[in-house]
Structure 1
Amino acid sequence: MADKINILLANPRGFCAGVDRAIQIVEEALSQYGKPIYVRHEVVHNQYVINDLKTKGAVFIEDLNDVPKGSHVIFSAHGISKAIREEAKSRELIPIDATCPLVTKVHVEVNKMLNQGMDIIMIGHKGHPEVEGTMGQIEEHHTNRKMHLIETIEDVKHLIVDHPNKIAYVTQTTLSIDDTKAIIEALKTKYPNIQGPKSDDICYATQNRQDAVKEISGLCDLIIIVGSQNSSNSNRLKELAL
């Protein structure tokens, strides 16, 4: 008789609430308006889900020029820049906003800080859709304000700001607290008066899933991470499981 295999399921697991909401918005739009429904950026880095939505009639695009005039277009959970929002308006597209509510809160805080004359430091990955959307909150009338992207502690060392006492930082929501902790500590050491986000503006979904993998890893001989190879979150979970 074969040895009994015990299967443990990490908890929490699966998509965060923001991604679940975005998927639901795409499906509801397809049901209400029919296909095709255009979606700017993949709503989640999971090829199975993307292929399923494509089969139902979703068309994923990166450039709004690929969307016919007057069509519905869904903005993904990552959020968008003000320039993209204006471009959609100028092309007479009908926007459906699936931006994660937590990302929207970050955008609101960034705009408030910019209007207060503060420079903003964004902790995140260059080229990530969420980072592009948040960095894109700055406008022409913010003439004396700047947004700086920081990816590493080394970036903090080389960072130069015009007004060290009027700066704040925000983080890419898909980065865990552990992933950003060292960078935030370096920023606070260099700029003691730097302001951070409110505690209720922080997304704990990534951190909670990483904690679950760390907790379960000592109890298992093998851990299987179910996710796409192009998902940074899935790859990070794999790293933590090793």
Structure 2
Amino acid sequence: MSGGNLVLAQPRGFCAGVRRAIGIVERALDVHGAPVYVRKEIVHNHHIVAELEKRGAVFVDSEEEVPHGAVCVFSAHGVSPAVRSAAAGRRLDVIDATCPLVSKVHQEAVRFARDGRTVLLVGHEGHEEVEGVLGEAPGRIVVVGTEDDVRRLRLPGDTPVAVLTQTTLSADETARVVAALRARFTDLVTPGDDICYASQNRQNAVKDLARDHDLVLIVGSRNSSNSLRMVEVAREHGAAAHLVPDERHLDAAWLKGVSSVGISAGASAPEVLVDGLVARLAGLGFDRVALQRGIAEDVVFSMPGRLADPVTGRVPRTPLAGEASPEPPPP
């Protein structure tokens, strides 16, 4: 097979919310010891879940599966008030790893519902993040996934509405849905763009990859919304594109006739999986690797104070197997 070029997207992989969520589970294990229970996958990546299970994390589908009084971490995707209430009823020691950007959407939903507006949540029905927001104001929030959903809404055009969005959507697709809502409703407000900075940055980088390369590969799990959106974005901008959970899922047939490959990773995918894919591609002749010119992210979300080191005040974490340390060591 003839050789070719590889270009790694910048930025790619872990975002600040994912680093914070994983760090919370790691630190909870350090402070409390195993087991620490985690409601749902802490982030949508099977490699991360498997590594944390090795350290003593126990992943459950419901807070009802957690023993009374045990430590329970809520995932980065957020939970509904009903889940918080059920956890309190079981006297669980809850540590909340909800991404601050998701928490912002929850707060906006509560505010607009209290103002008497119908909240139109642009998102994917059944996604954990969407389920959590829906629970903030049952009966006042309607999920809208597509422009067709907008046309099917049974609401008068003068209904006071507020538009919020799931944080991991395709920015372009969401803009089309929001435009359809603006055309449909005369009394519409929105607090701004809820799609997270990391999703936007990664999608923009993928657009550039798609313009310059024959094939774009996105490292991420099949249940990762932001990773799936990145595949869609690459295809919309003219490239063949595939989701690759890890190097074992690379189909060598995709490389036929390809001279250059762009690689990125979803916000919950660790760099070790990118490294594995790069190594596999090198073995297939794609061994000229370059880094895309892009923006550097320096966003850091603070950790819960209860998990900080009592002496330094820092919240140390041990990188997962094969993961580069996210922060330099303290001076």
TM-score, with structure 1 as normaliser: 0.90
Counting only pairs closer than 5 Å after superposition, residues 81-100 of structure 1 correspond to structure 2 as 81-100=80-99
**Structure 1 unaligned regions, length at least 5:** 140-144
CA RMSD of aligned residues (A): 1.9
User: 1:210: Cα distance to partner?
Assistant: 1.4
**Structure 2 unaligned regions, length at least 5:** 241-331
| Correspondence for 1:160 | 154
Q: Secondary structure at the match of 1:224?
A: strand
| Per-residue deviation, residues 71-126 of structure 1 (Å, max 9, x unmatched) | 01101111110100000001111110001101111111111111111111111111
Distance in 2 (CA, whole Å) between partners of 1:80 and 1:163 is 31
- Counterpart amino acid of residue 57 in structure 2: A
- Judge which range, 232-241 or 103-112, deviates more: 232-241
**Equivalent of 2:209, from 216, 221, 232?**
216
| Correspondence for 2:294 | none
Asked if the contact 1:46/1:228 (under 8 Å) is kept, the reply is yes
Q: Bigger relative contact order, structure 1 or 2, given CA contacts below 8 A and separation 6+?
A: 2
Q: Does 1:237 align with 2:236?
A: no
Q: Secondary structure at the match of 2:212?
A: coil
| Correspondence for 1:40 | 39
Asked if the contact 2:64/2:86 (under 8 Å) is kept, the reply is no
Distance in 2 (CA, whole Å) between partners of 1:5 and 1:228 is 26
Q: Secondary structure at the match of 1:8?
A: strand
Asked if the contact 1:178/1:207 (under 8 Å) is kept, the reply is no
Q: Does 1:190 align with 2:196?
A: no
**Equivalent of 1:177, from 163, 171, 183?**
171
| Correspondence for 1:7 | 6
Q: What is the percent sequence identity of the aligned residues? A: 47
Distance in 1 (CA, whole Å) between partners of 2:169 and 2:50 is 26
| Correspondence for 2:125 | 126
Distance in 1 (CA, whole Å) between partners of 2:107 and 2:74 is 17
User: 1:177: Cα distance to partner?
Assistant: 1.7
Distance in 1 (CA, whole Å) between partners of 2:111 and 2:231 is 37
Distance in 2 (CA, whole Å) between partners of 1:121 and 1:164 is 14
| Per-residue deviation, residues 196-237 of structure 1 (Å, max 9, x unmatched) | 1234x5412112111111102233344332222332322332
Q: Does 1:112 align with 2:106?
A: no
Q: Secondary structure at the match of 2:6?
A: coil
* Structure whose alpha-carbon radius of gyration is higher: 2
Aligned residue-pair number: 235
Taking a change above 3 Å as real, the CA distance of residues 12 and 66 of structure 1, as seen in their structure-2 partners, is same
- Whichever structure has more helix as a proportion of its residues is 1
